[in-house]
Amino acid sequence: MSAKKVDGLSAPAIRRDPYKVLSVPKDANDQEINSAYRNLSLNNLGVPIKTSVNANVLEEARNGNFTLKPLPIGTSVSGKVDKQHADFFRVTISEEQAKSGVVVRVTSTEQSKFKLLYFEQDSNGGYGLALQSTSYTIEALCAKTYEDTIEKLKEIEAQVLTKRFDLPQFETEYQQLEIEYHKALARFEKGTKRYSQEMQYVDELLKQRDSIRSSFSVVKTPSGNNLSNGSSSKAQGEESKGEGDSVVEEGEPESKNRSKNKWFNFNLDGYENKKLD
């Protein structure tokens, strides 16, 4: 008992959006919702819709107060019928055609639905029900001519019936997948946004790192020009000083030579004579 209860809690039933099921907008009126429900019941769910035959139509059929239009086998007739009105057709068939079967089919370009009532001459008449005033085409064919087509039709009808039972389960799975998809999409968008922010933050950190690394330098770019200019001026001063030194050094021997010349040019004859005396 407890296991079943836990299983029930772990797998809650998914509530289906009725507007999505009926394929109508949320602001649809009652008439649009009822019409969509009828179409869905007829086309997808296979639910028969109880419709009443207009009393005037039945009264006309009982009393024979109607006009019968001939509908030969293998031909089609087009016409127009108003809402809650009926057109009556007579189909004459042979015994062989009766054994083979007769198919009466009515279609409408407006996708309207019809109710067909088959009757014999002494029974009540029938009518083709239209939900609104619409145009139609009705024809009667011998089924023997379309034996292969009928077998194929039966096969397809069986497949359609099987799909009608499979569709509700698939629709539930699809809605669950749709919910998971939107959740995954939200996570993906969130991850993309975070990835962009993280990359931007990393770029800022790299710029800061490069800026700090560039500060580890002896010669800075703004003061480097002044330093180089000072060095060159100093070198020029040293060079000029060196030139001055060389001038002085070259001048000293010249003065010495001059003194020596003066020394050697003295008149030493008298001095020598005096010394000898």
Tens digit of pLDDT per residue, the chain (277 long)?
444 444 444 445 566 777 777 777 878 887 777 777 766 665 555 445 556 667 777 777 777 777 888 888 888 888 888 877 888 888 888 888 888 887 888 888 777 777 676 656 554 444 433 334 456 777 777 777 777 787 888 889 888 888 888 888 788 888 888 888 888 989 999 999 999 999 999 999 999 988 888 887 666 555 444 444 444 444 444 444 444 444 444 445 555 555 555 555 555 555 545 444 4
Residue 187 lies in a domain: no
Could you tell me the CA-to-CA distances from 162 to 47, 170, 248 in Å, in that order?
14, 12, 124
* Boundary (domain end) residue, out of 143, 161, 183: 143
Largest distance between two CA atoms of the chain: 200
Predicted pLDDT at 134: 57
Pair (69, 124) in one structural domain: yes
Structural domain span for residue 24:
14-49
* Boundary (domain end) residue, out of 109, 143, 177: 143
The total of structural domains in the chain comes to 2
Residue 90 lies in a domain: yes
Pair (59, 33) in one structural domain: no
Structural contact between residues 23 and 36, judged by C-beta atoms closer than 8 angstroms:
yes
User: Which residue pairs from 147-155 have beta carbons closer than 8 angstroms and sit at least 24 positions apart in sequence?
Assistant: 150/101, 150/103
Predicted pLDDT at 205: 92
Predicted pLDDT at 166: 81
Predicted pLDDT at 244: 43
